Amino acid sequence: MLPSRIFLGTLCLILALASTLHADVVDRCVAVVNNDIITLSEVNELGKPLFQRIAEQVPSDQLAEALRQARRTVINKLIERKLLAQEAKKLHITVTDEEVNKALARILEQNHTSKEQFKKELAAIGMDEKHYREDLRDQILGSKVVNYEVRSKIIIPEEKIIDYYDTHYTEHVGKGGYYILQIGISWDKEGISKQEARKKAERIRSLAVSGKDFKELARKYSDLPSSVDGGDIGVFKKDDMAPYMRKAVTSLKPGQVSEVVETPAGYQIFKLLSSQEGQIITKVPYKDVKEEIRDTLYKQEMQKVYKKWMKKMRDQAYIKIL
């Protein structure tokens, strides 16, 4: 194994020297990975979209350093690909044309685009379908190796899912705390008048009082940033509230909806979830987010295990960047 590595290293040096002596030499070796080499053309091909974006966005006085760092990033990515390809060869893992075709079809479907439009988009970043398919094949091959070496060894126990749920989907009401939801209607949004905003807020409050899901109403009607969380603004202490909020909320019992309250920018409606010290409020039922949490934890663990596994692969390999 060692003589062949020495030969490859010598070959790279010869190519690099030749490229400086002859203007017509357009390719050279930039790295050695065990018995494989990475050429400048491979770096330029994979990095073309990144290099192009940097050239367009980075100031001229910072361009050289930005491109140098980008080139290093692309080389490291290619090193990982070479290591994955070498491992695939050891494990007799391959990728068929049919697998590439199916993967490409899924990509087109997910992006709601046609083959012709997809080719135009590739051309816009300086890539053709042939090179994209080769890149896709490498990705599928790498995914198969990672699935064999890493993914199959990852297990997410129920206890971890519950711990994550308790941390991210529940809230503890401490002494003097009020767990609140809000809906806000601004009169300066989309040309709505103050009177129209008031009427809209009153209609929404009527829906909330009649039993409509407050969070769904917030997502649908609220103008405030908290709308994406169903109006959930968490736990507030009495002294931390704005005067208009304090007056509306502190007189409520858990589960009650406030009257429409005028604020400096519009109207708001509040719902008190709890003011009982020591009570734990669940933002979303556990069963509704269990699989989502499992997926999140799986991806986190996957990244950690893959990074450790790839470091081991690199440590055991002969790698030389020129």
Alpha helix locations (H) across the chain? 2-21, 40-57, 60-90, 97-110, 115-124, 129-149, 158-168, 194-209, 214-221, 243-249, 286-316
- Assign domain 173-281 one CATH number from 3.90.600.10, 3.10.50.40, 3.40.50.11860, 3.40.190.10: 3.10.50.40
Question: Contact at 8 Å (CB) between 271 and 208?
Answer: yes
Q: Which parts of the chain register pLDDT below 50?
A: 1-4, 6-11, 13-25
Angle between helix axes 158-168 and 286-316 (nearest 10 degrees) is 110
**Ranges for all domains in the chain classified under CATH 1.10.4030.10:** 2-153+305-321
Task: Classify domain 2-153+305-321 at the CATH topology level.
Answer: Triger factor/SurA peptide-binding fold (1.10.4030)
Tokens of 152: 């199959």
- For 258-295, the DSSP string reads PPPEE-SSEEEEEEEEE--TT-EEESS-HHHHHHHHHH
What pLDDT is attached to residue 102?
A: 92
Residue 20: how many CB atoms within 10 A of its CB?
A: 9
**Ranges for all domains in the chain classified under CATH 3.10.50.40:** 173-281
DSSP state of 222: -
What pLDDT is attached to residue 189?
A: 64
Question: Contact at 8 Å (CB) between 80 and 149?
Answer: no
What pLDDT is attached to residue 65?
A: 93
Q: What distance in Å separates the CA atoms of residue 155 and residue 75, rounded to the nearest whole number?
A: 32
Q: What distance in Å separates the CA atoms of residue 232 and residue 217, rounded to the nearest whole number?
A: 12
What pLDDT is attached to residue 278?
A: 57
Q: Strand 29-33 to strand 319-321: parallel, antiparallel, or no bridges (unpaired)?
A: antiparallel
Q: Is the pTM of this model over 0.85?
A: no
